[in-house]
Amino acid sequence: MILRRFEDSNGHDVDALLGSLSLGVRNKWLIGKDSANGFGKLNFALKYSVIEPGKLYPMLPAEHTEALFILAGSGLVSNEAEEIEVKEGDLILTGCGEMRSIKNSGKSDLKTLSCIDLLS
């Protein structure tokens, strides 16, 4: 058994990665693709994200199949065909290569937890 504390996980600001100064999205990899976890290479990654009110995680193709759980807040998840309202407790499943974006449509931070299937 291995304990990883939330505060010790690797976090980064998506603004810096995508060259924008106003995205308002922060990701924290709880279990990353290349985590030194003591179990060897895992088949999944776990990501915690925070999207500020009114901000948008831009439309990008998913590298892998991803289950996105809404921990807090509300928003809109869009793909090329539809837009779905989501709120705390909802789960969205997106397929590998599927285009999607997430917008925080609420007044508080939209917090999500994603489990990413690295085999897909």
Q: Which is nearest to 69 in space by CA: 117, 6, 115, 113? A: 113
The token pair at 120 is 């897909």
- Residue with the bigger pLDDT between 63 and 107: it is 107
Mean pLDDT of the region 32-48: 72
Task: Tell me 111's DSSP state.
Answer: E
Among 71, 66, 62, 63, smallest CA distance to 99 is for 62
pTM, two decimals, is 0.83
48-73 pLDDT tens trace: 899 999 999 888 888 889 999 999 99
108: confidence class by pLDDT, cuts 50, 70, 90: very high
Give bridge partners of residue 6 from the DSSP assignment: none
Q: Inform me whether the pLDDT recorded for 40 exceeds 70.
A: no
Strand stretches in 14-96, DSSP E: 25-31, 44-51, 56-61, 65-72, 74-78, 83-87, 91-94
Instruction: Please state, in angstroms and rounded to a whole number, the distance separating the CA atoms of residues 66 and 116.
Output: 4
Pairing of strands 74-78, 25-31: unpaired
The answer to whether residue 83 scores a pLDDT higher than 90 is yes
Domain 11-117 has CATH 3.30.300.30: no
Domain boundaries, the chain: 11-117
